[in-house]
Amino acid sequence: MKIIVDAFGGDNAPLEIIKGALLAKEEYGVDIILTGSQEEIKRTADKNNIDISSIEIKNTTQIITMEDEPNSVLKTKSDSSMAVGMKLLSEGYGDGFVSAGNSGAICVGATLIVKRIKGVKRPGFAPIMPHFKGGCFMLCDGGANIECRPEMLLQYAKMGSAYMEKVMGVSSPKIGLANVGTEEHKGNELQQSTYALLKESNLNFIGNIEGRDIPEGICDVVVCDGFTGNIILKTYEGVAKSIMGEIKSLFSKNLKSKIAAGLVYSDLKRMKKEYDYNEYGGAPIMGCQKPVFKAHGSAKANTIKNAIRLTKDYIESDVIKSISEVF
Amino acid sequence: MKIIVDAFGGDNAPLEIIKGALLAKEEYGVDIILTGSQEEIKRTADKNNIDISSIEIKNTTQIITMEDEPNSVLKTKSDSSMAVGMKLLSEGYGDGFVSAGNSGAICVGATLIVKRIKGVKRPGFAPIMPHFKGGCFMLCDGGANIECRPEMLLQYAKMGSAYMEKVMGVSSPKIGLANVGTEEHKGNELQQSTYALLKESNLNFIGNIEGRDIPEGICDVVVCDGFTGNIILKTYEGVAKSIMGEIKSLFSKNLKSKIAAGLVYSDLKRMKKEYDYNEYGGAPIMGCQKPVFKAHGSAKANTIKNAIRLTKDYIESDVIKSISEVF
């Protein structure tokens, strides 16, 4: 199995990407192709005494930044580490693609370079997020498609269900529709029509769910349009990060608080790990012909390693075949 | 000053409402009218050795539950503690109204019984929420109007700005538009058109803000449609509640963790207080002719007391007069 990794995506590229790719190669036995400036990859590796002789590099001349327009991946930056990685995937030089770069560009590239599964209206961005009962859930769409139609949301539910079952091992995944109340008539026309479609489907649809239910792990897939999904994703992450930061500063304030931290160290560490987005590694793009995986923008080596593991699981699970058969 | 309090709103009515009203009367010197079943209020007070002789009671025969439709306040439950309270307010028997009951019914009653300020399109539900830099912000609309037009959002911004300045003492309140990115073109048509209106206004508009910015206290008023606002409100509250609950159980696990809790007790207490919704008491309804204030549904005595204090501030600030002059 060969996984293509964008060496120039995210805040900590290329060093942490190189390190993560090597860790994954070692731990999971996957082959890696790094895309990006060969010269810079080699220089970074040398400077940090990292042996990258076992890794293939595909040289590219451009980088897509966080500020670039999503469609730069097709046009002005077609020789970027991201665009070239997706082209290699599409042409069969690898089995999956991982990038911690610009989410919008990844979604556009996944849709138009890697291409959609036949029947899929619009691929969805589907972050895997930790909840506070010791597990995780998928949010789809997390921001790829700001405006959605009910049929798109039904497709996200079907694809999310397949992913959670086949890749994450959840049996009969519970699907919830993000809404402003639990009653069937709640929300706008989009939610009302989607509710009817989900109810008729053979999915394990548990009904409307509210913002407060999500951290309680009430369902395995939260379905919504990309605007709502982006608001949920960022509010959720933001609040968790703010409180965890506050706890950290509380415990490092003085000697007394440091002693306290020592007494509850293992629990604090477990808690931090549970809520750590880096543990889940990121977001698969649901609905394209080959596995594309977005790692968290702030990904360090370990997150990249996890993202590569999840991409390996994504490939091995044959979830794309299942989705193709459903649509 | 006389404040009308719905004795049968929220999870802990009527006992905690009665206690809160008495605390407020004592602490702030306001007169209180409680609405609800006189018999049950008296029985509850007697049973708990509470002297309510100083409080006026307006007897009503119905209660609006959390399950009732919003417009029950106008139709099937026009003799409820909530409907009667709003009628008393509208007829001038009191200066403000507080209820911890059904939010939808409060918004309908505020709009159609207390009535709108001339020029206001739709009153907004505007929860005051704690952020993680030691202050608070207003979210408007937090769920009263699921579908909004750009002019409504501009009005929420103007009313929110007036409230935060006059009631909360914030000079030149910063207004942020909830969106999926900071760039001007982000979001749907609603956000794009609202952005243009806010930019042209004389408000202190800081631009689009993302979910992750909100807990950082980046602005004083977060403007959005009621669907988005409800999602933000409940996700925000849910994540904060889940993590704080986890911290509580971490510290009460065993002797060692209890000792640790003792060492950081004052900081933990401060942190809990900072993130405690009960400290802020709830949400004013923005845009009606007299102050209507929604206390948190889980309000206990102290929250009700705080809600009455904020209603007193709302009355004294003359913010309604300022809003009337603007519209």
DSSP assignment of B246-278: HHHHHHTSSHHHHHHHHHTHHHHHHHHHHT-HH
Q: Which residues contact A104 (CB under 8 A, 6 or more apart)?
A: A69, A70, A144
Q: What is the distance in angstroms between the Cα of B30 and the nearest Cα belonging to chain A?
A: 35
- The predicted pLDDT at position A281 comes to 67
> What predicted TM-score, i.e. pTM, was given to this entire model?
0.94
ipTM of the complex model: 0.93
Nearby residues of B18 by Cβ (< 8 Å), 6 or more positions away? B7, B34, B41, B44, B45, B50, B52, B55
Any idea what the Cα angle at residue B245 is, between residues B241 and B246, rounded to 5°? 120
Contact state of A178 with B230 under an 8 Å Cβ cutoff: no
Any idea what DSSP says for residue A288? B
What would the mean pLDDT of A227-234 be, rounded to a whole number? 96
Check CB contact under 8 Å for B238 and A271: no
Q: Say whether pLDDT at A277 is over 70.
A: no
According to the model, what pLDDT value does residue B267 have? 86
Burial label for A208, CB within 10 Å (0-12, 13-18, 19+), is buried
As given in the structure block, the two tokens for residue B284 are 């004013």
Tell me, rounded to whole angstroms, the distance of Cα A304 from its chain centroid: 11
pLDDT in tens, B198-253: 999 999 999 999 999 999 999 999 999 999 999 999 999 999 999 888 888 888 88
Is pLDDT of A246 > 90? no
* Whether pLDDT at A274 is above 80: no
Give the whole-angstrom CA distance, residue B116 versus residue B129: 24
Q: What is the pLDDT of residues B117-136, one digit of tens each?
A: 999 999 999 999 999 888 89
- Do A263 and B240 count as a contact with CB atoms less than 8 A apart? no
When pLDDT is cut at 50, 70 and 90, the band that residue A278 belongs to is low
pLDDT tens digits, one per residue of A14-32: 999 999 999 999 999 999 9
Rounded distance, CA B160 to CA A273, Å?
38
Distance CA A283, CA A160 (A): 11
pLDDT tens digits, B297-312:
989 999 999 999 999 9
Q: Which residues pair with A222 in a beta bridge?
A: A139, A176
**Cβ of A211 and B235 within 8 Å?**
yes
Q: Which residues pair with A57 in a beta bridge?
A: A34
pLDDT tens-place string over residues A135-176 = 899 999 999 999 999 999 999 999 999 999 999 999 999 999
Summarize the confidence of residues B138-160 as an average pLDDT: 96
What are the two backbone dihedrals, phi and then psi, of residue A97, each rounded to the nearest 5 degrees?
-135, 135
Which DSSP helix (H) or strand (E) runs through B295?
A: strand B292-295
The single residue listed with the structure tokens 């709502």 is A228
B256 contact residues in A (CB cutoff 8 A): 263-264
Q: List the single residue in B237, B246, B253 with the smallest CB-CB distance to A212.
A: B237
